[in-house]
Amino acid sequence: MKTLLRFIILVLIICAGAWALNEYTGLITVTWLGYEIQISVFNFVLLCLVALLAFRLITFPWRCVRWLRKAFRKSKDNEKDRFIAQTLTIALADNDTYKAVQAKRADKFFAPHTAANLLIKALLTPTADVYRQLEALPETDLVAWKYQLEQEIRLGRFVSAQEILERALLKYKHVPWLLKTAMTVYTYNQVWNKALDVLNTLYKIKAIPAKRYTEQKALLLFYMGQLKAAFAAAPYLPPIALAWAKQNPKKATKILQKSWETYPTIEVYRAYMQSLGHLEPQAYYRKAEQLTAKEPNSRLGFFVRAQAALSAGFYRQAREELDAYLEHYTLSVPVALLYAELEEQENPATEKAMVWTQKAKTAEPLAFYHCQVCGHPTSDYVTVCPQCHNFGECV
């Protein structure tokens, strides 16, 4: 618009000059050092235009160099601004406050950038309107997608979360937190093939250790129906060991014993006892002692030995195991109930069993495993955390 306006004004000036030259013809006299030159007004104007054009042609290379330097400086500033915006994007997405502050300090040396300012605003006052503005900018859409994904997962809308992920993964294929979120969403929606692809990408960019990669890959193969491949990858994982033991009853005892040594769970213990066949109650207690010999002071070790001793009628041993549990750990619900059962069998006439039953109401749950992401405790091995829905993070 400005260029068009300048062109119209220039045309009007030329028209007014041509009209004036037509109406007021005459000569222009120039006197200098005794010399006198006479020239018509039209030729004088023409001579001035030629001189101006010659000056513009002479200075054209210099003006080109100046324009290129200005364009290069502007491009360089834009690159720096984009780099700062992208650094802030990754910092905010990864909750790395230190990196975000460093990027903001660098930003003061360059021209203010809309994306950088919006990112700082999102860090200080995270609102839905700010994230909508961030999504419209190509270098900050990752932060907006993270905000939307967190909202959808918190509300349990995993189908819409998967749609957002599909858009984000088309542009950002190697962002660790985005890939881990994709693992959570795909496994919850039971899209096992895509979850396996994401897991392989995480391992390629070294975002997860080798052992966790092997275990999560084995679990994915297990849910995809490839039990043999899953057992070859991680035979000690409880769900894989239990399923393989059912298919191979002759080798079940050895398989479950190996699984117990790595991931001891109540289910594995019960399946191991069943695989032994029909034995005397005292023999089951001896097997429980042998099974927990490597880690005798673990929570589960005390608990299963006390349970086996109670089933065999060894009340003294059962009480010793439960008392040893309380020396090392705080009282939990299953232990309090086991105390109540012990008192009921050993001293049925007393009210001690009722006392332990009342204590069980205020005791903490027995937690053998914790989620590595959110820390949620579980009494048994689970493949998906019931709180944060992360896959294969239970240790």
Q: Tell me the three state secondary structure of residue 18.
A: helix
User: What's the chain's average pLDDT?
Assistant: 77
Percent of the chain with pLDDT over 90: 1
Predicted confidence at residue 97, as pLDDT, reads 52
Residue predicted with more confidence, 196 or 284? 196
Please work out, in degrees rounded to the nearest 5, the angle formed at the alpha carbon of residue 180 by the alpha carbons of 179 and 185: 95
Q: Is the pLDDT of residue 225 over 70?
A: yes
**Each residue of 57-77: pLDDT tens digit?**
787 777 776 776 676 665 555
Residue 345: count of CB within 10 angstroms of its CB:
13
Q: Is the pLDDT of residue 1 over 80?
A: no
Predicted confidence at residue 108, as pLDDT, reads 46
Q: How far is CA 121 from the centre of its chain?
A: 21
**Each residue of 74-124: pLDDT tens digit?**
555 556 656 666 666 666 555 555 555 555 555 444 444 566 666 666 666
Counting Cα atoms < 13 Å in the Cβ hemisphere of 109 gives: 7
Report the range of poorest mean pLDDT among 19-23, 43-47, 110-114, 183-187.
110-114
Distances (CA, A) of 201 to 45, 96, 143, 146, 179: 73, 22, 21, 19, 8
**Each residue of 254-309: pLDDT tens digit?**
888 888 888 787 788 888 888 877 778 788 888 888 888 888 888 888 888 888 88
Q: Which of 106-115, 200-209, 249-258 has the highest mean pLDDT?
A: 200-209
Predicted confidence at residue 240, as pLDDT, reads 86
Predicted confidence at residue 193, as pLDDT, reads 92
* CB-based contact 216:231 (threshold 8 Å): no
The two tokens of residue 4 are: 């068009």
CB within 8 A of 98, min separation 6: which ones?
Answer: none
Strands (E), 21-170: 27-32, 35-40
Report the predicted TM-score, pTM, of the whole model to 2 decimal places. Answer: 0.64
Q: Is the pLDDT of residue 359 over 60?
A: yes
